[in-house]
Amino acid sequence: MEPMSSQPGSGMMSMDGDEHASHHPGMGDMSSMGNAGGSSSKPAGMEGMMGRMLPEAGQALSATPGSDKADAGCCGARGRTPLYTFMMTHPNLTSEERQMLADIAAQRMQDGLREIGAASVDAGQSMSLEAMRRSSQDIHEGVSLLDSGMAARAAATGLVNPQIVAFNWFNTQMGLPAAETRQQNSIFFGLTPAHLVFMTILILVSIALLILQILRLHRVQEILNATRVSVPQPPSPPAPPSPMNNGPKPPVPPTPGSGDGTVVSTVIPPRQGLWRGSLKVARVIRETPAIATFYLVPADGGRIPFDFKPGQFVQLTIEPTSGKPATRSYTIASSPGRIEHLELTIKREEQGLVSRYLHDTVKEGDLLKIAGPSGMFTFTGEEADSIVLLSGGVGITPMMAVLRYLTDIVWPGDIYFVYSAHESADYVFRQEIEWLERRNDKLRVIATMRRSPGTEWSGPEGRITKELLQQSVPDLVNRRIHVCGPPGMMASMKTMLADLGVPAANVHSEAFGPAAMKPAPAAVAATPTRGSSSPATTPAATTITFSTSGKSAPLQLDESVLDAADAAGVTIPSSCRSGICGMCITHLLQGQVTMAVEDGLDPADKAKGFILACQAKTTGGPLVVEA
């Protein structure tokens, strides 16, 4: 083998052997290279040294073979090129180059194994420390040869890129991190299949999360739309039929919003007209032996079809006998904030046609005809900064609606819930009321009743008294008070509150029972004197005209508009017939009337010409009403 060429193109191997030997004494003549098939087991020259310096398989291959075939495979016209340099510049080998590299690898592995074996024998036969140190170095060089042969074999068979093998050796010599040794298998912009699969999964998960977020926002918007209602522009009332009308002229009600409606929250809904339709009985809950709660829902699902205020009622119509409908009014016991159902808590009365039918006949799945909501006996929390809810018997239902609603909106005012029942077995909603008191520190519950056999009761007994109210409700005279219960209880409570100094303006009431209590007649304003004041004199009759139905009927001076309508076959919705509920409100188009009780009539409505048909009586002239 001729000495290594110093011509240009020989790269790092261009220095001659003597110059190199001067830098590495003891390394021998490095200008000569061992033949791949020679007898020497130690490759000579720089490239042999490079091979011995490779630390592990797969990291480097730097020695040039000594065979002519090898020289031919790695040399150009200007001289031989070191093998590691050749592999750096030839990442894609031809079949001949791969065969050459495989031969070199086989020779190196054989040389390394021979050197390891010979050094092992020398180490076993030598007893001196210096000889064993030399044997250890020979073994290390043999291992390096074996490693370099294995790396070259991997590059020749295609398991490792030849360029990576050469770069790893270079990085090792320079103290740099080793290059990636695995076979690159990128298929798209340098990405491997594993990378593509992982990124695809991440993209799909992100798309799924985005779709879920869009669906969630869409659902939230649907809920918001469902909890809002458009208030239509009310029609103008009809003009008076005659210029002879000397009663109050009905002005045009103000428009609540633009022509397309004004969006108003359903938590405190505005007053609206009656809704009429059917609701399905979803559930019947037995509260006490004589009281049951009916859960009503729309037959086609969704929210209830109208808004209401806590304390309002609906009219329920049944037809126990074909062709003979019967209508009764029942307070809504549920909170206005719970728009998915309506609760009616009804006591079974032995003489009550409708209540007996509901308790004995109606079952889950039945449809009930409903009209409503109606009533002015309401409290939303805006009317006062505290409230006293005073009730007895089934009169608790409007109080429960108010209590539930105020709890739902976390109302900050004080709530005094005063309730009376005959005995503890009749205590309606007892568990819920006690639970609400525990979770609402603004609620104080005062209940009084006898203990029923087999039940527990340690509270006050008997009826509500002045002393109980004074002890339980501080500053009673300055608080708003709502009273509801049977007529006898109502009269007693109003008298008691008046004796305690509570102003009448602070007391708001609604009567319950088969017949509402008859209020004391109020002063009649602007009633002209007609005829003799003798009791034997029969009041002169006049006429009443119902503009919508086109009917007319005689009207006695002491006869209410509602009574005259019933006699003429004209339907005016009504409930209590005592001026409290406000159900029979109608529009007076002509004439003048007096009303003994106006509790159910809003002053603003009265100013617009509306009257309570059950209380309105003519002052002597003919009347025209919208009915």
The CATH number of whichever domain residue 310 belongs to comes to: 2.40.30.10
Neighbours of 353 (CB within 10 A): 14
* pLDDT score of 567 more than 60: yes
Q: Hey, what's the torsion of the CAs at 200, 206, 211, 216, to 10 degrees?
A: 160
pLDDT tens sequence across 410-457: 999 999 999 999 998 889 999 999 999 999 999 999 999 999 888 888
Residue 305: C-alpha distances to residues 154, 190, 297 (Å): 80, 62, 9
Count Cα atoms within 13 angstroms, Cβ side, for 148. Answer: 34
412 and 316 assigned to the same domain = no
Domain with 499, as residue range(s), is: 386-511
| Domains of the chain: total | 5
For residue 227, what pLDDT is reported? 53
Helices and strands: H and E segment counts in the chain: 15, 22
Where is pLDDT greater, at 571 or 599?
Answer: 571
* pLDDT score of 596 more than 80: yes
199 and 163 assigned to the same domain = no
Q: Is residue 310 part of a domain?
A: yes
* pLDDT score of 542 more than 80: yes
398 and 315 assigned to the same domain = no
Where is pLDDT greater, at 596 or 167?
Answer: 596
Rounded to the nearest angstrom, the gap between the alpha carbon of residue 609 and the centroid of all alpha carbons in its chain is: 46
Count Cα atoms within 13 angstroms, Cβ side, for 610. Answer: 19
From first CA to last CA, the distance across the chain in angstroms is: 129
470 and 569 assigned to the same domain = no
For residue 452, what pLDDT is reported? 86
Where is pLDDT greater, at 66 or 186?
Answer: 186
Rounded CA separation 554/488 (Å): 35
SS3 220: helix
Rounded CA separation 501/499 (Å): 5
Q: Is residue 425 part of a domain?
A: yes
- Mean pLDDT over 473-491 rounds to 92
For the ranges 171-185, 194-208, 236-250, the one whose mean pLDDT is highest: 194-208
436 and 467 assigned to the same domain = yes
Count Cα atoms within 13 angstroms, Cβ side, for 177. Answer: 3
pLDDT tens sequence across 123-147: 777 778 888 888 888 888 888 888 8
pLDDT tens sequence across 254-310: 333 333 333 333 333 434 567 889 999 999 999 988 999 999 999 988 899 999 999
Q: How does strand 262-265 pair with strand 228-231?
A: antiparallel
Angle at 494 between CA 582 and CA 498, to 5 degrees: 125
For residue 511, what pLDDT is reported? 66
Among 226, 252, 286, give the residue marking a domain's end.
Answer: 226
Where is pLDDT greater, at 253 or 594?
Answer: 594
pTM of this structure: 0.50
Where is pLDDT greater, at 481 or 41?
Answer: 481
The C-alpha R_g of the chain, in whole angstroms, comes to: 52
421 and 501 assigned to the same domain = yes
* pLDDT score of 92 more than 90: no
192 and 170 assigned to the same domain = no
For residue 73, what pLDDT is reported? 38
Which residue(s) pair with 466 in the sheet? none
Order of strands across the sheet that contains 542-546: 551-555, 542-546, 623-626, 585-590, 610-612
| Percent of the chain scoring above 90 in pLDDT | 36
Q: Is residue 61 part of a domain?
A: yes
**Exposed/middle/buried for residue 73 (C-beta within 10 Å: 0-12, 13-18, 19+):** buried
126 and 72 assigned to the same domain = yes
Where is pLDDT greater, at 407 or 84?
Answer: 407
pLDDT tens sequence across 351-369: 888 999 999 999 999 999 9
Q: How many angstroms separate the most distant Cα atoms in the chain?
A: 159
For residue 405, what pLDDT is reported? 96
81 and 40 assigned to the same domain = yes
- Element of type H or E holding 481: strand 480-485
- Record the tokens describing residue 124, joined without a space: 């076993």
DSSP string, 132-186: HHHHHHHHHHHHHHHHHHHHHHHHHHTSS-HHHHHHHHHHHHHTPPPPP-SPP--
Q: Which residues, 6 or more positions from 510, have their beta carbon under 8 angstroms from its beta carbon?
A: 311, 331, 375, 377, 395, 398, 483, 484, 576, 580, 581
Is 420 within 8 Å of 426 (Cβ atoms)?
no
475 and 453 assigned to the same domain = yes
For residue 225, what pLDDT is reported? 67
- Mean pLDDT over 615-624 rounds to 92
For residue 50, what pLDDT is reported? 43
Q: What is the mean pLDDT of the chain?
A: 75
* pLDDT score of 171 more than 80: no
Which residue(s) pair with 546 in the sheet? 551, 625
Choose among 341, 228, 335: nearest CA to 279. Answer: 341
Is 370 within 8 Å of 306 (Cβ atoms)?
no
Rounded CA separation 458/282 (Å): 36
Residue 67: C-alpha distances to residues 9, 35, 407 (Å): 20, 5, 99
pLDDT tens sequence across 340-349: 999 999 999 8
Q: Is residue 140 part of a domain?
A: yes
Residue 546: C-alpha distances to residues 45, 245, 564, 578, 626 (Å): 128, 15, 10, 22, 6
- Mean pLDDT over 223-236 rounds to 49
Where is pLDDT greater, at 404 or 598?
Answer: 404
* pLDDT score of 532 more than 60: no
Q: Domain with 588 in it: what CATH number? A: 3.10.20.30
* pLDDT score of 378 more than 90: yes
Q: Is residue 609 part of a domain?
A: yes
309 and 211 assigned to the same domain = no
For residue 622, what pLDDT is reported? 93
For residue 446, what pLDDT is reported? 95
* pLDDT score of 555 more than 90: yes
pLDDT tens sequence across 141-166: 888 888 877 877 887 887 777 778 77
The lowest-confidence range among 116-120, 129-133, 241-245 is 241-245
Rounded CA separation 434/443 (Å): 10
- Mean pLDDT over 458-478 rounds to 93
For the ranges 69-83, 146-160, 534-548, the one whose mean pLDDT is highest: 146-160
Angle at 368 between CA 366 and CA 370, to 5 degrees: 160
501 and 397 assigned to the same domain = yes
